[in-house]
């Protein structure tokens, strides 16, 4: 519980000898097979034998970024309903069958894509693929299930308002990115969900849940030949190509000279949530590795600058971090922290100072080298399990990151220079023109917020 | 005295296999778990468990101490968790800030957790980081500094953690109230993070005494799993740890929670959007064979979309947004708890009724064979899933050492789940889920 989720060890002078670590062993994906089926479905099969389990992951470019104005939440709802009845098998029949063999089957939408995952004991791989194919290709979207799911989504939206951290994350993205669809919660807004009809869902599924553009990875203790045969059998009859107009407008930067401050007033809070950020770049940026390192220096690990200044030196918070949201059509940069109401301004000022510093001063060689080693050292832990590998396979394909991405990861991180870090920080970590979102007891913190920027106050009651 | 339990030759250290056999699982196959570990207890009492496994070029280095909120007393609640934080704030060789600085700059990651029963620390790092971990962890076990300046700022950090998890969290506060109401004597009644007034009052002397009492090698278990050479590792561990002296064992926890003699009810009134209710029942300690039947019950009642209460409350009546049950294994008798979030406008009484009806039904009629077999299959498969990562395997060994006194119990678990009978499930429901053994906390949302 100490820790949640990187600074300056001003020349961490450590006397005596420190045991040497090189951490240079190669990291690569296990051998895999890939092919494209006649219907356009891209398939990867990876044999691993560590545990008697098989993971299957199907990615479909049907994320919430395709939800137009007024139909926010449609992609999310469609994904949620897949398991609620398909091919004549009811929701209870599907869950009893899957759980009956200790399996797992889930479906959800993110911003760029929808994902359906299965995790089964090796002996049940056929059963798993059978369910996976059925729920994706033949969902029934029963009216009763649709109404039930709607009421759950509406209750969940209310539930987010009880959790200051989740609420801050949701509202920060909305305020920062909307009207671009990336700013909408995947599950939409209560107003748009209420208006949604079953026909909307059926229509979305018909046009978006097609094999063209979809990626399937099957990873685990399974014979590759057998897996290929099963996949052909279960998915061979699936037809369709994505609509011609499926691209989404790019999320453009919106240069601003002045800072915007948006306060959400929630009078019962004794601790204020803070988010600071700006629109940045998408997943395909050539600056990906520089950004990864710059973000890690600023707010990655336990020795990041934000953690050091906010938590370690001042005891202002339990957590302080920065992060990059990188999607297909754009992305954003954000700082995340929280503190007791009395130290709200101090914490914001320290965070802003650190964003300025990484923009204005070159990162020292020692700090930079440490950070590169940190990122490289932890990389193998991201490729440990069947589901890690399945996620890499589908993401590498969807974002066109190249087959050598994993193998070259460490050398690319190792090549990041202090000039590169400063360049991307200046370009993508905004300062004067950024957005600050605060959730706080405004009556208590009003005076502290003076002079921070153009301020707008919204009552929690006005939030949907 | 140095004890060595099988000094085995090591190949694939953790073996999970499916084998044909007389098992109740539908497919007629069963899962077996074999852990090939080298175990040695140093002269100072530190138990060392090494599990060599070259499948991934990494190691997980974990130290478990037999101390948690359970060992605290009124006035210093939260000190176990606070000590967990202080363990990252400097010792003799690696001073303040240096633990994380050195580890991260060498490609490692560290974290820790405190529960009521244990405090655990781990480092995940590439294979050749073993000696660094040994150096870092033996240094803080030997010579933690407890710098007054860091005590002050770290306590501020912990207070923020409390504000985050409890004071500004509806669910966090309900859970705190539930434990406080269900227990009147045993230390499980206070939150692991501690009461705010105790966090304000804990001083350096308290910390020094606590460290001396509980952070002795004879109160710890060291587990290393992953890509290393057992012989070389054991030699290095001796080099770094042998000179840390054993200390007088701490006094055992003596308080036994008296039997509950009637339902206890409480309310939380605060700003909230949705009604919610938490319901708990006292359950037996870890040594009781009933824990496996209770795990099965947990799955049958709320584990997954095929569970009874999910179907009843979320699907059939639509009264609830979510329904969960938890039965965490603990050293001393603790609780089996339900946590139900209602839809807007629905009454928590509806959820209570459904839970009680399901429990009475099982106590009287047992469960369906299909439900029993499904629960067992989910438990077995989840057990395998929890062993996928090097970190997960090491952590499981540590937990089982603390809870059962022997990590080898891990290998028995799949079999114990398979052996659970319908009679045992019914018996457990009858024995523990009585109204007089019940504690209920409802949330009354204020506008």
pLDDT at B24: 37
Question: pLDDT band at A50, cuts 50/70/90?
Answer: confident
Question: pLDDT band at A159, cuts 50/70/90?
Answer: very high
Domain membership flag for residue B23? no
Domain membership flag for residue B2? no
Q: Say yes or no: B189 and B287 in one domain.
A: no
Domain membership flag for residue B247? no
Tokens (6 digits) for B400: 């089982």
* Residues B376-414: tens digit of each pLDDT: 999 999 999 999 999 999 999 999 999 999 999 999 999
| CB–CB contact B104 A374 (8 Å) | yes
pLDDT at A246: 81
Q: Is the pLDDT of residue A438 over 80?
A: yes
Domain membership flag for residue B359? yes
Nearest C-alpha neighbor of B228 from the set B389, B59, B15? B59
Domain membership flag for residue B15? no
Q: Say yes or no: B153 and B302 in one domain.
A: no
Percent of chain B residues topping a pLDDT of 70: 94
* Residues B253-267: tens digit of each pLDDT: 999 999 999 999 999
Nearest C-alpha neighbor of A426 from the set A333, A346, A331, A347? A333
| CB–CB contact A123 B318 (8 Å) | no
Q: Supply the angle between the helices A405-414 and A288-299 in degrees, to the nearest 10.
A: 60
pLDDT at A16: 52
Mutate to test the interface with A, among B29, B136, B163 (most CBs of A within 10 A): B163
Q: Which residue has the tokens 């990655």?
A: A300
At A40 the three-state DSSP class reads coil
Q: Say yes or no: B204 and B285 in one domain.
A: no
Q: Is the pLDDT of residue A158 over 50?
A: yes
Contact B188, B61 (CB under 8 A): no
| CB–CB contact B126 A21 (8 Å) | yes
pLDDT at B15: 56
Q: Within a 10 A sphere around the Cβ of B445, how many other Cβ atoms?
A: 18
pLDDT at A18: 79
Q: A195 vs A62, A110, A147, B431, CA distance in Å?
A: 20, 21, 11, 49
Instruction: State the pairing for strand pair B29-35/B14-20.
Output: antiparallel
List strand residue ranges (DSSP E) for B232-289, in order.
264-271, 276-282
Q: Which among A19, A95, A162 has CB closest to B273?
A: A162
Q: List the strands of the sheet with B438-446, edge to edge.
A: B264-271, B438-446, B276-282, B335-342, B320-326
Q: Phi, psi (5° rounding) for residue A150?
A: -55, -45
| Distance, CA of A180 to CA of A250 (rounded, Å) | 8
Which of B177, B207, B241 finishes a domain? B241
Which residues on A lie below 8 Å from B173 (Cβ)? none
Does A218 touch chain B if contact means CB atoms closer than 8 Å?
no
pLDDT at A21: 74
Q: Say yes or no: B190 and B302 in one domain.
A: no
| CB–CB contact B168 A269 (8 Å) | yes
Query: Chain A: residue nearest B109 by CA?
Result: A378
Q: Say yes or no: B206 and B291 in one domain.
A: no
| CB–CB contact A155 B124 (8 Å) | no
Does A13 touch chain B if contact means CB atoms closer than 8 Å?
no
Domain membership flag for residue B274? yes
Nearest C-alpha neighbor of A45 from the set A129, A136, A134? A129
| Distance, CA of B303 to CA of A335 (rounded, Å) | 36
User: Percentages helix, strand, coil for chain A, rounded to the nearest 5?
Assistant: 45, 20, 35
Question: pLDDT band at A196, cuts 50/70/90?
Answer: very high
Which residues on B lie below 8 Å from A27 (Cβ)? 57
Show the domain range for B160: 37-241
pLDDT at A9: 30
User: What is the pLDDT averaged over residues A351-369?
Assistant: 97
* Residues B59-108: tens digit of each pLDDT: 999 999 999 999 999 999 999 999 999 999 999 999 999 999 999 999 99
Q: Supply the angle between the helices B422-432 and B369-385 in degrees, to the nearest 10.
A: 90
Q: Say yes or no: B341 and B402 in one domain.
A: yes
pLDDT at A132: 98
Q: Phi, psi (5° rounding) for residue B123?
A: -125, 130
Q: Within a 10 A sphere around the Cβ of A98, how many other Cβ atoms?
A: 28
Q: Which among B101, B135, B377 has CB closest to A101?
A: B377
> What is the residue-wise DSSP string for B119-155?
EEEEEEEEGGGHHHHHHHHHHHHHH----HHHHHHHH
Mutate to test the interface with A, among B100, B270, B375 (most CBs of A within 10 A): B100
* Residues B337-376: tens digit of each pLDDT: 999 999 999 999 999 999 999 999 999 999 999 999 999 9
Query: Chain B: residue nearest A162 by CA?
Result: B272
Which residues on B lie below 8 Å from A154 (Cβ)? 344
| Distance, CA of A399 to CA of A328 (rounded, Å) | 7
How many pairs of residues across A and B have Cβ atoms under 8 Å apart?
A: 261
pLDDT at A6: 30
Q: How far is A220 from chain B (nearest CA, A)?
A: 11
Q: Which among B18, B314, B344 has CB closest to A158?
A: B344
Q: How far is B323 from chain A (nearest CA, A)?
A: 12
Does A9 touch chain B if contact means CB atoms closer than 8 Å?
yes
Does A108 touch chain B if contact means CB atoms closer than 8 Å?
no
Task: Indicate the class that CATH gives domain A260-462.
Answer: alpha beta
Q: Which among A92, A102, A313 has CB closest to B380?
A: A102
Q: Say yes or no: B234 and B279 in one domain.
A: no
pLDDT at B1: 31
* Residues A1-49: tens digit of each pLDDT: 454 433 223 333 344 577 877 655 668 888 999 999 999 999 999 999 8
C-alpha dihedral sign at A175, A180, A182, A185: positive
User: Dmax of chain B from CA atoms?
Assistant: 66
Q: Which residue has the tokens 């009781």?
A: B288
Q: How far is A280 from chain B (nearest CA, A)?
A: 27
Question: pLDDT band at B9, cuts 50/70/90?
Answer: very low
For the domain that residue B404 is a member of, what is the CATH number? 3.30.830.10
Q: Say yes or no: B277 and B352 in one domain.
A: yes
Q: Within a 10 A sphere around the Cβ of A450, how many other Cβ atoms?
A: 8
* Residues B185-196: tens digit of each pLDDT: 999 999 999 999
Query: Chain B: residue nearest A16 by CA?
Result: B93
* CA contacts within 13 A on the Cβ side of A341: 18
Does A315 touch chain B if contact means CB atoms closer than 8 Å?
yes
SS (H, E, C) A315-347: CCCCCEEEEEEEECCEEEEEEEEEEEHHHHHHH
C-alpha dihedral sign at B291, B296, B299, B302: negative
User: What is the pLDDT averaged over residues A137-143?
Assistant: 98
Q: How far is B186 from chain A (nearest CA, A)?
A: 22
Domain membership flag for residue B19? no
> What is the residue-wise DSSP string for A44-86?
EEEE--SSSEEEEEEEES--GGGPPTT-TTHHHHHHHHTTSEE
Q: Phi, psi (5° rounding) for residue B74?
A: -55, 140
| Summary mean pLDDT of chain A | 94
Higher pLDDT, A204 or B17: A204
Nearest C-alpha neighbor of A357 from the set A349, A346, A365, A347? A349
**A32-235 CATH:** 3.30.830.10
* Residues A307-334: tens digit of each pLDDT: 999 999 999 999 999 999 999 999 999 9
* Residues A205-245: tens digit of each pLDDT: 999 999 999 999 999 999 999 999 999 999 999 999 998 88
Q: Say yes or no: B349 and B284 in one domain.
A: yes
Domain membership flag for residue B292? yes
In chain A, which segments carry CATH 3.30.830.10? 32-235, 260-462
Q: Within a 10 A sphere around the Cβ of B115, how many other Cβ atoms?
A: 18
Which residues on A lie below 8 Å from B270 (Cβ)? 268
Mutate to test the interface with B, among A48, A220, A296, A318 (most CBs of B within 10 A): A318
Which residues on A lie below 8 Å from B129 (Cβ)? 21, 23, 377
Q: How far is A448 from chain B (nearest CA, A)?
A: 19
Q: Say yes or no: B131 and B41 in one domain.
A: yes
Q: Say yes or no: B332 and B236 in one domain.
A: no
Question: pLDDT band at B237, cuts 50/70/90?
Answer: very high
Tokens (6 digits) for B147: 């710098």
Query: Chain B: residue nearest A166 by CA?
Result: B169
Report the number of distinct structural domains present in chain B: 2
Q: Is the pLDDT of residue B304 over 70?
A: yes
Q: Phi, psi (5° rounding) for residue B40?
A: -150, 135
* Residues A383-395: tens digit of each pLDDT: 999 999 999 999 9
User: What is the pLDDT averaged over residues A92-102?
Assistant: 97
Q: Is the pLDDT of residue B7 over 50?
A: no
- Cα A270 to chain centroid distance, Å, stands at 29
Tokens (6 digits) for B393: 């395997």
Does A148 touch chain B if contact means CB atoms closer than 8 Å?
yes
> What is the residue-wise DSSP string for B399-424?
HHHHHHS-GGGGGGHHHHHHH--HHH
Tokens (6 digits) for A338: 């929280």
Does A369 touch chain B if contact means CB atoms closer than 8 Å?
yes
Mutate to test the interface with A, among B305, B341, B445 (most CBs of A within 10 A): B305
Contact B48, B39 (CB under 8 A): yes
Alpha helices in B97-249 (DSSP H): 98-105, 130-143, 148-162, 170-182, 196-201, 204-214, 230-241
User: What is the pLDDT averaged over residues A102-129?
Assistant: 97
Q: Supply the angle between the helices B422-432 and B348-365 in degrees, to the nearest 10.
A: 130
- Cα B446 to chain centroid distance, Å, stands at 33
User: What is the pLDDT averaged over residues A288-300?
Assistant: 97
Buried b (16+ CB within 10 A) or exposed e, A365-379: eebbebbbbbbbbbb
Q: Which distant-in-sequence residues (6+ apart) come within 8 Å of B257 by Cβ?
A: B183, B184, B185, B186, B188, B282, B332, B333
| CB–CB contact B157 A311 (8 Å) | yes
Q: Say yes or no: B107 and B173 in one domain.
A: yes
């Amino acid at each position: 519980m100490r820790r949640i989720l990187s600074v300056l060890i001003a020349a961490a002078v450590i006397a005596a000898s420190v045991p040497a670590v090189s951490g240079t062993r190669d990291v690569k994906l296990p051998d895999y097979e890939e092919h494209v089926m006649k219907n356009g479905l891209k398939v990867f099969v990876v044999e691993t034998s560590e545990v008697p389990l098989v993971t299957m992951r199907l990615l479909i470019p049907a994320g919430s970024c395709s939800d137009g104005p007024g139909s926010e939440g449609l992609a999310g709802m469609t994904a949620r309903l897949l398991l609620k009845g398909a091919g004549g098998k009811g929701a209870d029949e599907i869950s009893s069958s899957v759980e009956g063999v200790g399996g797992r089957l889930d479906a959800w939408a993110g911003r760029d894509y929808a994902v359906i995952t299965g995790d089964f004991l090796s002996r049940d791989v056929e059963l798993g693929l059978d369910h996976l194919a059925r729920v994706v290709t033949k969902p029934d979207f029963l009216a009763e299930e649709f109404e039930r799911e709607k009421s759950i989504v509406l209750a969940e939206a209310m539930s987010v308002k009880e959790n200051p951290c989740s609420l801050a994350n949701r509202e920060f993205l909305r305020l920062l990115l909307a009207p671009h669809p990336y700013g909408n919660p995947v599950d939409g807004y209560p107003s748009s969900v209420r208006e949604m009809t079953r026909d909307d869902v059926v229509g979305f599924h018909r046009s978006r849940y097609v094999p063209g553009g979809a990626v399937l990875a099957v990873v685990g203790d399974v014979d590759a030949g057998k897996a290929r045969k099963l996949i052909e059998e279960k998915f061979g009859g699936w037809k369709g190509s994505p609509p011609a107009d499926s691209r989404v407008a790019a999320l453009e930067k919106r240069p601003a000279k002045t800072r915007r401050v948006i306060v959400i007033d929630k009078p019962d809070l004794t601790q204020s949530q803070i988010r600071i950020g700006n629109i940045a770049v998408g997943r395909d940026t050539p600056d990906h590795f520089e950004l990864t390192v710059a973000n890690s220096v600023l707010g990655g690990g336990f020795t990041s600058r934000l953690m050091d200044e906010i938590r370690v030196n001042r005891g202002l918070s339990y957590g302080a971090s920065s992060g990059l949201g990188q999607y297909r059509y754009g992305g954003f940069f954000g700082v995340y922290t929280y503190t007791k109401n009395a130290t709200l301004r101090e914490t914001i000022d320290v965070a802003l100072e650190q964003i300025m510093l990484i923009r204005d001063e070159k990162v020292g060689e020692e700090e930079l080298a440490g950070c590169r080693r940190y990122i490289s050292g932890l990389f193998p832990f991201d490729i440990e399990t069947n589901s890690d590998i399945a996620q890499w396979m589908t993401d590498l394909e969807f974002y066109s990151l190249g087959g050598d991405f994993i193998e070259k990861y460490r050398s690319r991180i190792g090549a990041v220079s202090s000039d590169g870090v400063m360049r991307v920080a200046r370009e993508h970590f905004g300062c004067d023109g950024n957005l600050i979102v605060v959730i706080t007891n405004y009556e208590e913190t009003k005076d502290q917020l003076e002079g921070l920027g153009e301020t707008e106050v919204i009552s929690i009651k006005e939030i949907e | 005295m140095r004890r060595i339990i099988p000094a085995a030759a090591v190949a694939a250290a953790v073996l999970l296999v499916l084998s044909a056999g007389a098992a109740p699982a539908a497919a007629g196959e069963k899962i077996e778990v074999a852990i090939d570990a080298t175990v040695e207890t140093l002269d100072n009492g530190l138990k060392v468990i090494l599990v060599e496994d070259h499948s991934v070029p990494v190691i997980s280095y974990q130290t478990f101490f037999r101390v948690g909120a359970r060992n605290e007393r009124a006035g210093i609640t939260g000190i176990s968790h606070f000590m967990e934080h202080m363990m990252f704030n400097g010792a003799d060789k690696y001073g303040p800030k240096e633990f994380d600085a050195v580890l991260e700059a060498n490609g490692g990651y560290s974290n820790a957790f405190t529960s009521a029963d244990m405090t655990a620390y781990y480092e995940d790092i590439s294979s050749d980081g073993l000696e660094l971990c040994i150096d870092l962890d033996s240094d803080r076990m030997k010579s933690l500094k407890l710098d007054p300046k860091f005590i002050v700022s770290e306590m501020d950090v912990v207070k923020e953690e409390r504000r985050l998890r409890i004071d500004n969290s509806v669910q966090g506060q309900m859970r705190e109230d539930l434990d406080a109401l269900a227990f009147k004597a045993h230390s499980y009644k206070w939150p692991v993070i501690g009461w705010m007034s105790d966090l304000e009052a804990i001083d350096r002397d308290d910390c020094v005494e606590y460290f001396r009492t509980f952070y002795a090698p004879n109160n710890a278990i060291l587990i290393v799993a992953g890509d290393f050479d057992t012989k070389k590792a054991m030699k290095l561990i001796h080099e770094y740890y042998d000179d840390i002296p054993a200390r007088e064992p701490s006094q055992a926890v003596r308080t036994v929670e008296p039997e509950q003699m009637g339902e206890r009810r409480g309310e939380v009134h605060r700003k909230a959007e949705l009604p919610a209710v938490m319901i708990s029942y006292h359950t037996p300690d870890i040594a009781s064979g009933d824990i496996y039947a209770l795990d099965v019950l947990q799955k049958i009642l709320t584990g997954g979309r095929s569970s009874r209460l999910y179907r009843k409350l979320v699907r059939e009546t639509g009264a609830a947004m979510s329904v969960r049950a938890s039965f965490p294994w603990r050293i001393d008798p603790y609780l089996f708890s339900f946590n139900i979030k209602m839809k807007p406008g629905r009454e928590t009484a509806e959820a209570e009724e459904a839970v009680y009806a399901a429990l009475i039904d099982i106590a009287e009629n047992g469960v369906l064979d299909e439900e029993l077999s499904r629960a067992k299959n989910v438990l077995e498969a989840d057990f395998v899933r929890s062993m996928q990562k090097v970190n997960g395997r090491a952590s499981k060994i540590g937990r089982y050492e603390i809870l059962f006194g022997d990590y080898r119990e891990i290998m028995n678990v799949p079999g114990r789940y398979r052996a659970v009978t319908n009679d045992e499930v019914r018996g457990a429901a009858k024995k523990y889920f009585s109204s007089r053994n019940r504690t209920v906390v409802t949330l009354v949302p204020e506008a």
